[in-house]
Structure formats: structure tokens, C-alpha cells
Amino acid sequence: MSEEIINALSRINGLKVTARTSSFAFKGLKEDVRIIGNKLGVASVIEGSVRKAGKRVRITIQLIRTDNGFHLWSENFDRKLSDIFALQDEISLLVADKIRENFDHMEISDHLVTSKTSNAEAYQLLLKGSFHFKRKDLEDIQKALAYFQDALQLDPDYAEAHAFIGETYLHYAGFNLITAEKGHSEAREAAEKALQINENEARAHKVLAYIHLFYDWDWDGAIASYNRAIESGLTNENEFITYYYIFIQKDYDQAIRIAKENVVKDPLHVISHWQLGLCYYFAGRFEEALHAFEQSLQQDSNFSESLRWKGVVLGYLGRFEEALTAIEQALTITRGEGLALLDRLTVKILQQEHAGVVEEIEQMQHLDPCDPAALYSLLNMPEKAVAWLEKGLEARSVMMVSLKHFWIWNNIRQDAAFQRIYKSMHFHEQRALKADPRSHQLQEGGAAKLSSEEIVEVTEAISQLLMDEANVTDQSLSLRSLAEAVNLHPNKLSWLLNRHVGKNFNEFINQYRLEIFKQKALAPDNHHLTLLGLAYESGFNSKSVFNDYFKKSTGLTPRAWVKAQAKV
């Protein structure tokens, strides 16, 4: 439930949602919400619980401000657990509505969660696989694939599981567990299967974007598939576009900016900092790369990918002993598998200890020809480097895409054979980067904008409704129910209140409730009632919200205001 609410809210344009990994870091901990808000850099926290008994569930949800711990909203739900996805959609929409009511305008789709499989056990297996997949470490990737394949055994038409399998195979190739040809072939087949089942499966489009970039060398096709993934709802996954900026555009600043945004979204996730470290590394900014990898290791000291990359950048910084120590730690964790063996050779070359390095390179088995090519380039041995690049061209090695800008090839870049290989990559056919479609989703008011005539008509209808005190004091009144009462889509009403009236829904309704409270508080017949009781009668459903709104509106506490009126 938590995961799907996070995913659903992340699809709302303009709403910053901390990703699952960082959010779940506080699961089960009794941490003060103000401390959580400070660590995550968020204005509010959604807190809740799910209790299951047989086929029924009780869901408790609260929306809490992190600056003062005030509860903006809380509610309990008792539901029959017949359709988990319908329940996730209902709760996600409700939470999204409450966020919008308390903050600013945002466009919310009529449905945020759609059914992905009818098999609950297959769904559980996919969630387990997703947990391991998100770490993107050697052992976790292998575990993830097994879970995704088990999910497909239970539901062969599970599009999301096919898409996850496709992306996992890309990582298999990246870790040199299989060849680039096999990895991309398996990934393509899985992605295409997913899209046959669901043409809007976002992850499948992202997998194709990777394949077009790193294997097909179809530069414009890569961006087209990436944009289609975004249009289909891909969220919080910016690593593809950072690689495009690094290898094709040579816009390191843009790649770093995007990676930093991802750190903000997921500040406690090992991968967020690791990805930022990679961007700094390819930009040649080794000190900053080292800091990012160390931040990653603060989240998980056994994350082998950050350890080996830390070793590499330490090597480029001339701190060779520390570099080799970090790489050996990575090799211990992976039991001697993975790319850390090549990293150790890289550090030896940087250390000018070339004796025996060439022999080691020649004795190793190389699934990816670009690996020895890069080492020979560092050794300034263009003939051997180019010979391996020829093999990389034939095998369509993943790192052939790096020939355009990666500084590791600078030693051999002027070699005639290198230039011939470079030209065969057709980098010149790449056009200007097409903008991410999310940047054009909402203009001023976007699709929700109303005409002048509609504004007058709707405003009048709302005024008529709110002349009835019973409507104003109804604590169940929401933006969605008010929109329905005036025959308007909630997105349009949200736009009207926030962009035209200049108030969010709660501010707009609470101004009416405040006037009702003032009348009740000054009425002689009500002197025996508490001010909080009168606030509840006026439609407020939270002591903290009432006191906060009253102080902001009048500059006084409710009790001080009543006393001041008595003196008049």
C-alpha cells in the first residue's frame, strides 16, 4: 500500500514526493516528524498503518506538517480486501486530494493506480524483486531476476514483470554476467512482450530507450522511447537521461543537475548518491565524485558498486593505497566477481606499476571488448586498444557509445584507426535533444483553465451553495464534493481557487467557517460552550488547524480575540 501510494503521488506533476527507499528508512521508528521532515527536506509527511484481519483491512492515514507537527488531516477506512489495486487507487486519490486542498493547485488524474495483475501472489513476488532491483548491486540483481521470473510463472501476462525482467537483463550485461548481445536481445524481447500486453507500460519504453542508446546506436530513437516512457508515467528514474547528456550531449552540468534532483527526491537511497558520483566521474570532477560515493556508502557500507567506484576515483586522485583497499573490499563482497578486477588494473596503471598489467589483461576473459580497450588506452597502446574496439564494434559493446566524449579515449583519439571506428558509429546523425514532455504539460492553468464566462458562472454557483451554513459546517466537505455540487471537474475547481481566487481549498472554506465561528463565539447563548466546541460546530475538524488558521487570519489566538471583542 505504501509503495503504490508513493508511486501514485509521484505521477502528479508539480508534487515533490520523497521516494520509497528514503521514506521507508523511518518505517517502524518513533522519530519526531519534525526531524523526519528536516532529514528528507519535506513540508509534510503522510503517516499511516494497515491492519489486516481475514478479508478486511483497516487503514489509518494522517497528513502532518513537519514544521510544527500539526495534523492537517486524518482519517480511518474499513474496507473489504477484494481488489487491492482499486483500494490503492481510492486511497491514493484521497491522499492526493487532501494534499491539494492544503497546498496548491495540481492536476490529478481520475485514476492513479490501475490493475496490473489479478494474481496477488505474483504482485507480492514483483514487489520482492523490485526491492532487490532498486539496489542495483551484483547479488541483488540476480535475486531480482529470480523473483520477476517467478511472478511470470504465476501470471504470464504480467506486463510490469516482463518490463522489469527486460531492465534486469540490461544490468546483467552491465555487470558482465552475460554478453551485450544476449543481454540486449533478452531485454528487447521482454520489453516488446510487455508492450504487446500494455502499450503504455512505462518501464518497457525505458528499456527500449536504453537499447536504442547503448546497443542500436539509434540516438533519436532513444529519446523518442524515453519521452514515451515519461508520457506513460515513468517517475523518479532519471538515470537514462543523465547517460544521454553525458555520452551524447556532453552536457555534464545538466546530468549532474538531474542527479542532484534525484538525491533530493531520495536522499537516503544508496543509488541516488552513487548515480551522482558517476555523473561527477564522467565529468572528470573526481573530488566531488569521491564525496558522492562516500555519501552512498554512508547509507550502505557494503554496496560494492560504490566501493569499486570509490577506488577508481581515489586512483585518479593519486591516493593509490586507499584506492586498492576500497577495490579489495568490493571484491570480497562480490566474491571476486564483477568489474572490480578491471578497476584494480586501472589503479595499477595510474600508479605507473605497469609491470605485469599487460599480461593480466591478456590472461583475463573479456565479455565486453571495451574493457581491455579502455585499459590499453590508459596504457597509451593505441594498436591494442583499437584492436579491441574493432571487436567492440562487432559485438555492439555497451561502452562504444562513450567514444564520442569520454576522456578515457583521449590517448588514442587521434589514431587513424580510432577515427575510422568513430565515424562508423554515426554520431553525426544525432539531432538536437527533444524536450522531456513533462515540461509542457501545464502552462498557466493548463488544461484546467476556465473562460471568463465560466469563472463568473462557477463563482456564483459556489457562493449560492456556501450561503447555506449547513454546507460550510459539513466536515466532510471536500474540493471533490464541492466540484461535483457545481458540476465541475475537481482539477478546474482547484485551478479556479488557487490561480483566480488566490487561496487553496482549505483557506477558501475556512474563511467562511471562521466567520461562522466568530458569530457563534460572540452569541450570548453560546457562552457556556468551549471555543474548541464552537470551532468544531463551525466545520473545523482539527484543533491545530483551527488555532493556526485563526492566528494567521486575525493575528490573535481565539481566546484573545474573544476577550478583545468583549472590550469593544
Residue 77, domain CATH: 3.40.50.10610
Is the same domain home to 84 and 8?
yes
Task: Tell me, yes or no, whether 441 lies in a domain.
Answer: no
Residues 58-68: pLDDT tens digits? 888 888 888 88
Residue 244 lies in a domain: no
In a domain, 12, yes or no: yes
**407, 436, 465: which is the final residue of a domain?**
436
Q: Is residue 219 part of a domain?
A: no
Out of 50, 84, 102, a domain closes at 102
Q: Is residue 467 located within the same domain as residue 555?
A: yes
- pLDDT tens-place string over residues 219-230: 999 999 999 998
How far apart, in whole angstroms, are the C-alpha atoms of residue 276 and residue 44? 26
8 and 96 both lie in a single domain: yes
Q: Chain-wide mean pLDDT for the chain?
A: 90
Q: Do 423 and 373 fall within a single domain?
A: yes
> Cα–Cα distance between 260 and 212 in angstroms, integer?
25
Give the cell for residue 551. 492566528
34 and 78 in a common domain:
yes
3-class DSSP state of 29: coil
| CA gap 152, 201 in Å, rounded | 16
Is 382 a domain residue?
A: yes
Asked whether residue 273 is assigned to any structural domain, the reply reads no
Shared domain for 413 and 459, answered yes or no, is no
User: Which amino acid appears at position 517 of this protein?
Assistant: F
Residue where a domain terminates, one of 84, 102, 120: 102
CATH number, domain containing residue 474:
1.10.10.60
> Same structural domain for residues 470 and 538?
yes
- Same domain (yes/no): 397, 479: no
Answer yes or no: is 131 within a domain. Answer: no
Predicted local distance difference test score (pLDDT) of residue 440: 35
Tell me if 173 sits within 8 A of 183, measured CB to CB.
Answer: yes
Q: How many domains does the chain have?
A: 3
**Percentage of residues in the chain having pLDDT higher than 70:** 96
pLDDT tens per residue, range 431-457: 756 655 454 333 333 455 788 899 999
Q: Report residue 123 CA to chain centroid gap.
A: 20
Give me the mean pLDDT over the 214-219 stretch: 94
Least confident of 29-43, 365-379, 406-420: 29-43
431 with 478, same domain: the answer is no
- Residues 550-567: pLDDT tens digits? 999 999 999 999 999 977
Radius of gyration of the chain (CA): 29
Same domain for 470 and 405: no
pLDDT of 439 reads: 40
One domain, residues 382 and 467 = no
**Residue 136, in any domain of the structure:** no
Could you tell me if 92 and 50 lie in one domain? Answer: yes
* Rounded Cα distance, 460 and 203, in Å: 45
Give the count of alpha carbons within 13 A of 233, CB side only. Answer: 18
Lowest mean pLDDT among 81-85, 298-302, 355-359, 459-463: 81-85
Residue 19's pLDDT is 80
Domain that residue 381 falls in: 354-436
CA distance 227 to 213: 13
